[in-house]
Amino acid sequence: MDLLSDAVAAMRTGTPHSNRSENRAPWQQSFPAQQGAGFHVVLQGSCWLIPSAGDPIRLLAGDVAFLPRERGHTIGDSPHPDHRDSTAGTAVMLCGAYLLDQSRAHPLLAELPDVIHLPARVGHHTPLRGAIELLGHELDTDHDSGAIAPLLEVLLLYMLRAWYDDHPADTGWSAALYDPAIHAALTAVHRAPGAPWTVKALAAQAGLSRSVFAQRFTATLGIAPQSYLTWWRMTLAARMLRDTDALLRVIAEKSGYTSEYAFAKAFKREFGVAPGRFRAADPVQVSLIRATA
């Protein structure tokens, strides 16, 4: 998997879902704030997206709107839900949602704006358009299709790639995705988080000297290489504790620790709670633990 898919996988907590709808004016639908992300694709017609904060956004046929964190929003035929000043028409929508743990969002997703608007442009984001077409076809033909969930995962990655392609930057994770040296080091960490990585070893992956790599990594991402390594290891460990019944010894080894004691100490330092208690907590308690850690 690439860095974007790794970041999404680390946050995923459930199966995504989607639906296709035909809406005749006047219409509107509100979505409450929740732990997750959502998207809207206008297949025909047009509509308005009204975020919980900020100005309404007009969505035209072919436009995609992605909300990386669901703070609550409304879509409808009018930019003013309390005043029915819409123009007559029908909007055919493809909408969906992803269940993501926002309490420990990967920096790749945490730096995104609350609303991403990807206007339809001929010849742009061809893979994204292809994924939308395939998903729409599956929803039209069989709502129980086993292909829908995988297509939604692909769609999410293409939405993120489209945004980052359109918004290059000199610093931050957007820059890291397109910096060959930093990208190589991050890929190595993601492929083998339990390996005995040192700054020198990561610099070798990047093809740079130790000092140049450390400076470039920190200046670009705002975090030192070893600090990110620890964060990523603990993020994966938390997911294994939450989603599997793997022994603590196994999780410690996969996280790069030679003993359960060293792992438990590092985990408690990161989360403020021991691994055993973290695993035993229900999802609500886990979110509270993470939020206060």
Q: Sign of torsion, CA 280 284 285 286? A: positive
pLDDT of residue 213: 98
pLDDT at 292 over 80: no
Q: In angstroms, rounded to a whole number, what is the distance separating the alpha carbons of residues 277 and 147?
A: 37
* Paired residues of 30 in beta bridges: 74
pLDDT band at 2 (very low <50, low <70, confident <90, very high): confident
Instruction: Mention every residue, 6+ apart, whose C-beta is less than 8 A from residue 228.
Output: 186, 189, 217, 221
Could you give the count of Cα atoms lying within 13 Å of 166 in the half-sphere of its Cβ? 15
Pair 49, 59: CB distance under 8 Å:
yes
169 or 30, higher pLDDT: 30
End-to-end alpha carbon distance in the chain? 29
φ, ψ (nearest 5 deg) of residue 123: 85, 0
pLDDT band at 1 (very low <50, low <70, confident <90, very high): very low
* 3-state per-residue secondary structure call for 138-207: HHHHCCCCCCHHHHHHHHHHHHHHHHHHHCCCCCCHHHHHHCHHHHHHHHHHHHCCCCCCCHHHHHHHHC
145 or 284, higher pLDDT: 145
For residue range 84-112, what is the model confidence (pLDDT) as tens digits?
565 557 899 999 999 888 777 888 888 89
Which of 132-141, 144-153, 270-279, 280-289 has the weakest average pLDDT? 280-289
For residue range 34-68, what is the model confidence (pLDDT) as tens digits?
888 999 999 999 999 999 888 999 999 999 999 99
